[in-house]
């Protein structure tokens, strides 16, 4: 799906829940990249994460972030509109293979160990 080279994605609302000492939550606008996976911006960082749909009468695009799995940080210090930034990132990633992405973006732009599970 693209319009002038930019991906058109389904817009959703994502609930993020942290169950540490105090129950804390936040909400963000996100975009489904495929069923069960979404891009979103939280505190200036773009993430790709697993999400689960919340089935509620009359609500079709409400999801919760699956905090039992890893998420991937794709960009930091984002100040532009997520509706512009996320389709640009999706379009960029569609044009790359995994090896190019790992060697260019992960090894050059991320700090620390990256938990990328290849074999199960």
**Per-residue pLDDT band at 12 (split at 50, 70, 90):** very high
Regarding pTM above 0.95, the answer is no
- Integer CA distances (angstroms), 30 to 13, 17, 41, 102, 117, in order: 6, 15, 7, 24, 24
Per-residue pLDDT, 59:
77
CA gyration radius, the chain: 15
Token look-up 């260019």 returns: 104
**Tens digits of per-residue pLDDT, 76-86?**
888 999 888 88
Checking phi first, is residue 16 left (phi over 0); if not, alpha (psi -120 to 50) or beta?
A: beta
**Tens digits of per-residue pLDDT, 32-48?**
988 889 999 988 888 88
Per-residue pLDDT, 3:
47
């Amino acid at each position: 799906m693209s319009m002038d080279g930019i991906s058109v994605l389904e817009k959703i609302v994502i609930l993020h829940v942290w169950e540490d000492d105090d129950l804390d939550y936040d909400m963000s606008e996100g975009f489904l990249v495929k069923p069960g996976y979404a891009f979103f911006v939280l505190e200036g960082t773009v993430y790709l994460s697993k999400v689960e749909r919340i089935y509620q009468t009359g609500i079709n695009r409400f999801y919760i972030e699956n905090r039992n799995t890893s998420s991937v940080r794709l960009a930091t210090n984002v100040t532009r509109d997520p509706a512009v930034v996320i389709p640009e990132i999706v379009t960029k990633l569609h044009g790359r293979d995994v090896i190019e992405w790992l060697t260019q973006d992960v090894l050059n732009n991320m700090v620390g160990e990256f938990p990328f599970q290849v074999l199960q």
